[in-house]
Amino acid sequence: MKRTALYIRVSTLDQHPETQQLELRSLAQQRGLEVVHEYVDHGFSGARTKRPALDELLADARRRRFDLVLVWACDRLARSTKHFLEVLDEFSHLGIEFVSLRENIDTAGPLGRAIVTIIGAIAELERSLIVERVRAGMRRARLEGRHIGRRPLELDRQAIVRDRERGMSLGDLAKTHCISKTSVRRALKQAATAVPKGPANTYLQTQQNRPPETAA
């Protein structure tokens, strides 16, 4: 017996999910399916991609807690074609079958498998188009001279070195200059390598050989 999850959704609070539940339970019984859980979104629009029961359904799908998802109609799962394709594509990758009562879609059959193949191709095309749009945007930004990605951290290395010479710990330096300990170490190392050798620069010259500080 296939472990089956029922997903039911009604848009308004005055609608009753029991109508869908009864029909889906009946279909599951006819097919000899074991209903392990029923996920009900009561009073949620299908246009919303985030719904409590749907989120729980997807989380349990990733944990392989069932083998098949049964819905009363495709629009109960999602009204947006894009969202519906994304959910069905995820089910396919997880090896979970999908059955819609009203549209008579069953991804376990030949027609259903063909639909999944088409959906997978459409989803892959959409991902490729998104990647290409991102790359095009980055190329345009470079041509316009705009910065891409995280901006380099601006550090006052001389101030960090002065504070270190006064005996401040790495933790205190990090808090004072609003940076991480790693950035403090990097600034001290860069300052040490950038300063020419000489008696006046003894402190900086010894920073590379200083043992790492473990305590803040």
DSSP string, 23-88: HHHHHHHHHT-EEEEEEEEES--TT-S--HHHHHHHHHHHTT--SEEEES-HHHH-SSHHHHHHHH
Domain with 52 in it: 3-126
Q: What is the pLDDT of residues 117-142, one digit of tens each?
A: 776 677 677 778 888 888 888 888 88
* Boundary residue ending a domain (126, 148, 166): 126
Look at the chain and report how many structural domains it folds into. Answer: 2
Indicate whether 120 and 168 sit together in one domain: no
Rounded to whole angstroms, the Cα distance separating 82 from 206 reads 60
Q: Is 144 a member of any domain? A: no
Among the ranges 41-45, 65-69, 159-163, which has the highest mean pLDDT value?
Answer: 65-69
The CATH number linked to 16 is 3.40.50.1390
Pairing outcome for strands 105-106 and 3-10:
unpaired
- In which residue are the tokens 């049964």 written? 70
Percent of the chain with pLDDT over 90: 31
Q: What is the pLDDT of residues 186-215, one digit of tens each?
A: 888 888 876 555 544 555 555 555 555 554
Indicate whether 18 and 118 sit together in one domain: yes
* Residue positions annotated with a catalytic role: 11
Helices 157-165 and 170-177, interaxial angle, to 10°?
140
Indicate whether 106 and 183 sit together in one domain: no
> pTM of whole model > 0.85?
no
- In which residue are the tokens 């009363």 written? 72
Mean pLDDT computed over 80-92 = 85
